[in-house]
Amino acid sequence: MNKIEQLIQQYCPDGVEFKELGEVCEVLRGKRLTKKELAEDGNYPVFHGGLIPLGRYDKFNRKANQTMVINTGSVGEVVWSGVDFWSSDGTFVVETPEEINDKYLYYFLKIQESYLKSQKREGGVPTIDRQAVENIQVPIPPLPVQQEIVSILDKFTELEAELEAELEARRKQYEYYRNKLLTFTPPPLHK
C-alpha cells in the first residue's frame, strides 16, 4: 500500500467526498485593464486570456498561489500563479477555503481542461461561463491527503522541467556537432 492509499485509509476509510466546485470555492472574474494602463516596469503580471502574462501593472487584485481558468482566448486552460498578479476579465480565479489546498485544486483542474474547453461558447468572442467551472465535481480528501498529492506532483513537475532543459541542451549540442561535422571547406578552384 502506497502512502496516498495509507492516508486515505486513515482519514477517509469510507471514500473521498465529491462536491461541486461552486459549493466550496469562489469563482471570481477579474477586472479589465486597457493596454494603456499596462506598465512595462510594473510590479505584477497581468493575466488575460492566455497562459503567459499580457503585460505588467503596478497593482495586483489576486494573491499568489491561486488557480486561474482562462475564459477567453486560450479558453479552458488552467494556469497557476505563484506570485501576486492582476486577473483581468479574461480569467476566472478560484479562491479556496482552508480545507482545500490551492495547488491540489490546480492539479485537479488541469485534468479537467478538456472538459472546460468543450464548454466553450462560440459567438462574438468564444468564452466559457462561470457555471461550467462551478459545476465541476471535485474530490475533497482531507488536507493531509491533498498535501501528499501536491508533494508528489510538484516533484514530478520539477523532474519534468529538468528533463526538458536537458533535452534542449542535447538538441543544441547535436545541432552544433552536426553543423561542425558536415561543414567542409570546398577545394580551391583550379584554372
pLDDT on residue 4: 72
| 13-20, long-range: CB < 8 A, 24+ apart | 16/139, 16/140, 16/141, 16/145, 17/139, 17/140, 17/141, 18/137, 18/138, 18/139, 18/140, 19/137, 19/138, 19/140, 20/134, 20/135, 20/136, 20/137, 20/138
pLDDT on residue 191: 67
pLDDT on residue 1: 64
User: Is the pTM here over 0.95, yes or no?
Assistant: no
Domain ranges of the chain: 1-14+142-182, 17-140
pLDDT on residue 56: 92
Burial class (CB in 10 A: 0-12, 13-18, 19+), 126: middle
pLDDT mean by block of 10 residues, the chain; 191 residues: 75 85 95 86 88 88 94 90 92 94 97 94 84 96 92 89 87 87 81 67
Identify the CATH homologous superfamily for domain 17-140. DNA methylase specificity domains (3.90.220.20)
